[in-house]
Structure 1
Amino acid sequence: MHDDTIDDLINVQIIDMNKPIDYDDVAGCLERAGLELLPSEVHGIACGMLAGDNAADKIKWVQELVPAIEQGNVLQNDAIREMGNLFDRAQREMQDSQFRFELFLPEDDDSLATRMEALQDWCQGFILGMTMVGIKDYSALPEDSRDLLEDFVNIGTSGEFDFDDEQESEIAFTDISQYVRVGVLLINEELQPMRQSATIH
């Protein structure tokens, strides 16, 4: 597929910028297109790329996640549009001065195990997104960003969580997801001056 066609697909503007994107709808769209991607993972990758490079190329991002793009494949086209919407929303929220950024995770009425797995996938996606824009050596990063990224790696690879105590597990999930959310904003803020400095010099 020609780049212009991809551009047409992923740059369709959302009519209502404040209208929530439904997690299950996106999941179904990706599944019908035959893409082995979870919405949380897709959003995490976008956020990781944007935190590492706020001018990250959305078209190259799609080409990386959907390498076998088929012209005329309606289901795939629908999935690419949804992915483009997620990328745009991530970009807007990460630049929002009111800090309205949120992780894209299943709704609260989904099982805790499902939400925790999605959070782990989100963290793995964020690390992958950072890698995709060239951030692989954390030693050169500010200390807070370095520590946060190491924590994200640990969260993403920590295996199954113990959900024996439902109330404590819900509290733990809320604490971890909020830690990741605030951590992403801090990483994004810390890396902005580094990118500006690199541009100036």
Structure 2
Amino acid sequence: MSYQHIDSFFRHNDGVNSAAEAHGLATGMLCVNGQTPSSAWIKQLSGEEAQIGGDQARLLVSLFEETQASLESDDYDFEPFLPDEDDVSLSEQIIALSEWCQGFLFGFGALYQAGEQSDQAKEILRDIAEFTKLDPDAAGEEDEVAFMEVSEYLRTAVLLLRAEFGSKGRARIH
């Protein structure tokens, strides 16, 4: 599934800013409740009044289901949906990662009902909030390495949050 293809859909519609933000939203929702239906995610993306149909709906449902499967996989193959480094600059990758984190926090917050959180979960959520503020004016090998480290941290952090919250049944689905 091409990031650019899905991203162009979001760039031409109101609502979320990018495919990264949309994927973050789905991931946040699924971390809280792995049984969240794709329709709840699409409703969050487009609002009550918007209708998404045909090929666009199938594409979105496919992205959602792939995300759901990767979070549930015993192979730990989840990856944030970000543009490929061969397709965009490091600055654009950082912006997408920041948007992904914004979407994740919104999706997580949309379904999470307050309750016990481990210190580790609190720290992870604080870190993800900090990643929304990353400086996109990065260049050079050091910044590329730092971006890769943040991306890997996110991948692992999401799986830890999913393990902590995904099965506790504290979610509400709108």
Common fold, TM-score beyond 0.5? yes
- In the TM superposition, structure 1's runs of 4+ consecutive aligned residues that sit over 6 Å from their partners are none
Q: What is the TM-score normalised by the length of structure 2?
A: 0.87
The structural deviation recorded for 1:85 is 1.3
Q: 1:160 aligns with which of 132, 135, 151?
A: 135
Amino acid at match of 1:179: Y
Structure 1 stretches of 5 or more lacking a match? 1-20
The structural deviation recorded for 1:46 is 0.5
1:55-88 alpha-carbon deviations (Å, 9 max, x no partner): 1132122122112324xx7xx5433322211110
Q: 2:116 aligns with which of 140, 146, 152?
A: 140
Residue 147 (structure 2) aligns with: 173
Q: 2:50 aligns with which of 58, 69, 80?
A: 69
1: CA distance between counterparts of 2:54 and 2:134? 34
2: CA distance between counterparts of 1:60 and 1:48? 12
Q: 1:59 aligns with which of 30, 35, 39?
A: 39
1:8-30 alpha-carbon deviations (Å, 9 max, x no partner): xxxxxxxxxxxxx1000111233
Preserved CA contact (<8 Å) 2:70 2:76: yes
Structure 2 stretches of 5 or more lacking a match? none
Q: What is the TM-score normalised by the length of structure 1?
A: 0.76
Amino acid at match of 1:131: G
The structural deviation recorded for 1:176 is 0.5
Matched position secondary structure for 1:195: coil
The structural deviation recorded for 1:140 is 2.4
Amino acid at match of 2:110: M
